[in-house]
Chains A and B, each alone.
Chain A
Amino acid sequence: MEAGAIITTIVFALIFVCGLVFCFMKAGIGGKWED
């Protein structure tokens, strides 16, 4: 793969993984998933 394609893959994979991890860590005001 070309360098640009590899960097794009890594950067956007990180954006999605970190974004979702952040959301799930915030989930549940009392630390619970279900409301």
Chain B
Amino acid sequence: MAELTRERWTSRTTFLFAAIGSAIGLGNIWRFPYLAYDNGGGAFLVAWIIGLLALGIPWLLMEFGMGRMFQRGAPGVFASIGKKWEWLGWWAVFVAFLIVTYYTVIIAWSLRYAISSVTMAWGTGEEGAAGTADFFFGDILQLSGGPGELGGIVWLTLGMLALVWIVLFFIMYKGANVIGRVAVFVVTIPWIILVALLVRGLTLPGAVDGLNFYLSPDWSALLTGDIWFAALSQIAFTLSVGMAGMYAYGSFIAKKADVNNNAFITGFANNATSFFAGFAVFSTLGFLASALNVPVPEVAASGLGLAFITYPAGISMMPAGGAFIGVLFFLCLVFLGLGSAFFLAHGGVSAPLRDKFGGGLTKVTALVCLAAFLVGIVFTTQGGLYWLDMIDRAVAFYGLLITGALSCIVIGWFWKPKLLRDHVNETSDFKIGVWWEWIIKLVLPVGIIFVLIYGGFMVDIPEAYEGYQIGPLNGSHVVWIVLVVTLILSFVLGRLKTRKEGGE
């Protein structure tokens, strides 16, 4: 009964664009290029491709396939395996929910920057380039002294956040039907913008120096743990797996449709976008270094620093067209962010809630948007950046990896992955072999646990995360508290009664 009323993608094309749109996000532009530069250039790309084939695509295939097989979001999938595992799906839902609360704030900042780019509000020339950090921390964030000092709300950011959620509501309230159509635009527009940014970047002096730093291989890096941590973590974070949403996106696939090939296309398209974005970013960084007469490593940055401080500095130094490039760059971030945001809010949160409790699509979507907007207000305060950083560490690092590793263990060892393999092979363009089962049983859990320990526990247990202090608690305490609270809430939700099939 539920299958008859379940949302469906209107075509394979719209599903693929939705899946690619959820995978490509801000990290493709601001995290990947720096990781490549910082971890041996071409050598990093080798580790990263191995990670894609050995971890990323099999993981993606598992989430698409489980969703399609059970026609449910993450909690419903795990409840179908065994009621005692339903909490695991809900934990992933909390990961998705918390991520989208701050991800939309970053989209709001990007919107403010897109508008500020028109007048180059942070200044032009060397003076402007030197003032981008002050503009970001002072004008945009009005940053307080620490996480214990929330300060007031930054009203312009709050207004933009409200706008973002209104847009998201109108994209999501009719479900997969409209999401798929919108996804075509939120994927192709950033691709077109990246081509424009690359062309502009390559025509600037010093661009080649930047590309040399991005790509020149240092093969000795392959022998270090750092490069494997960087590559595997990037693969885990970039494909939007471990965030509940891919199960729901898979559940919207028609019963006779392909799964295996779609997972490979999504993985390859995502990584190709990252690889391409690196050229756009590092050509501009090479130019900035040349214009400021400093070595490239001195301007190389990642994350918020790259997007909101270093890249605007590059724009300030451009001989012509800086304002236009600025608008394009930040609109690119907005579109990339939106594709991931409606994936998280709809696939990650709304769909599982409707599976469990029923309710109309419009009503549930409105409730999710409102709840996420209200939680997101914390990140629009003057101390919001610190909280964003800690919550990001808790859910987008630990939450995603722990739920991902546990999902593989539950599906691989407490269920029969052969059932899933047979199910997806029946309708897919090509078949996957028994190797895939061993990746789910062994390779993925081991790879994810390595990332968790090497880049997580070994760093955050001995020292407070980022040195943050809030009264008696430090940054690491906040991370552990968020994890424990969401875990307890997941158990509570897992024990609640599920609506009857097909009921509202």
Interface residues of A (CB under 8 A from B): 1-2, 4-5, 7-9, 11-13, 15-16, 19-20, 23-24, 26-29, 33-35
Q: Are A4 and B41 in touch, CB under 8 angstroms?
A: yes
User: How many residue pairs, one in A and one in B, have C-beta atoms under 8 Å apart?
Assistant: 73
**What's the Cα separation between A25 and B219 when bound, in Å?**
34
**What's the Cα separation between A13 and B264 when bound, in Å?**
16
Which of chain A's residues has its CB closest to B256's CB?
Answer: A35
Ordered nearest first, which 7 A-B pairs have the shortest CB separation? A8-B42, A5-B215, A35-B257, A16-B272, A8-B215, A26-B429, A4-B216
Kindly identify which residue among A5, A16, A20, A29 contacts B275, using a CB–CB cutoff of 8 Å. A16
Q: Are B429 and A20 in touch, CB under 8 angstroms?
A: no
Indicate whether B325 reaches chain A with its CB closer than 8 angstroms: no
User: Which residues in B have their C-beta under 8 angstroms from that of A20?
Assistant: 265, 268-269, 272
Indicate whether B479 reaches chain A with its CB closer than 8 angstroms: no
Which of chain B's residues 198-245 have a Cβ closer than 8 Å to chain A?
A: 208, 211-212, 214-217
Chain B binding surface SS class: helix
Kindly identify which residue among A7, A23, A33 contacts B12, using a CB–CB cutoff of 8 Å. A33
**What's the Cα separation between A16 and B13 when bound, in Å?**
19
As a 0/1 sequence over residues 18 to 47 of chain B, the CB contacts with chain A under 8 angstroms (1 = contact) are: 000000000000000000000001100100
Chain A binding surface SS class: helix
Given A4-B216, A26-B261, A35-B254, answer yes or no on A19-B211 (Cβ-Cβ < 8 Å). Answer: no
Interface residues of B (CB under 8 A from A): 11-13, 41-42, 45, 49, 208, 211-212, 214-217, 254, 256-258, 261, 264-265, 268-269, 271-272, 275, 427-430
Which of chain B's residues has its CB closest to A32's CB?
Answer: B12
What's the least CB distance linking A3 to chain B, in Å? 9
What's the least CB distance linking B282 to chain A, in Å? 10
Given A5-B42, A8-B42, answer yes or no on A28-B429 (Cβ-Cβ < 8 Å). Answer: yes
Q: Are A1 and B42 in touch, CB under 8 angstroms?
A: no
Which of chain A's residues has its CB closest to B44's CB?
Answer: A8
What's the least CB distance linking A16 to chain B, in Å? 4
Which of chain A's residues has its CB closest to B215's CB?
Answer: A5
Q: Are B429 and A5 in touch, CB under 8 angstroms?
A: no
User: Which residues in A have their C-beta under 8 angstroms from that of B217?
Assistant: 4, 8
User: Which residues in A have their C-beta under 8 angstroms from that of B49?
Assistant: 12, 15
Kindly identify which residue among B45, B212, B258 contacts A35, using a CB–CB cutoff of 8 Å. B258
Please list 24 pairs of residues, one from A and one from B, whose beta carbons are closer than 8 Å in the complex, sorted by A's number.
A1-B211, A2-B212, A5-B214, A7-B42, A8-B42, A8-B215, A8-B217, A11-B42, A12-B45, A20-B265, A20-B269, A20-B272, A23-B264, A23-B268, A23-B429, A26-B261, A26-B430, A27-B261, A27-B429, A29-B258, A33-B12, A33-B13, A35-B256, A35-B257
User: Which residues in B have their C-beta under 8 angstroms from that of A1?
Assistant: 208, 211-212, 215
Q: Are A5 and B45 in touch, CB under 8 angstroms?
A: no
Q: Are B268 and A2 in touch, CB under 8 angstroms?
A: no
Which of chain A's residues has its CB closest to B41's CB?
Answer: A8
What's the least CB distance linking B504 to chain A, in Å? 29
* Residue of A8, A16, A19 with most chain B CB atoms under a 10 A cut-off: A8
Q: Are B216 and A16 in touch, CB under 8 angstroms?
A: no
Q: Are A34 and B11 in touch, CB under 8 angstroms?
A: yes
Q: A5-B211, A8-B41 are in contact. List 4 more A-B contacts (CB 8 A).
A: A2-B216, A7-B42, A8-B216, A35-B12
Which of chain B's residues has its CB closest to A29's CB?
Answer: B429
User: Which residues in B have their C-beta under 8 angstroms from that of A33?
Assistant: 12-13
Q: Are B212 and A23 in touch, CB under 8 angstroms?
A: no
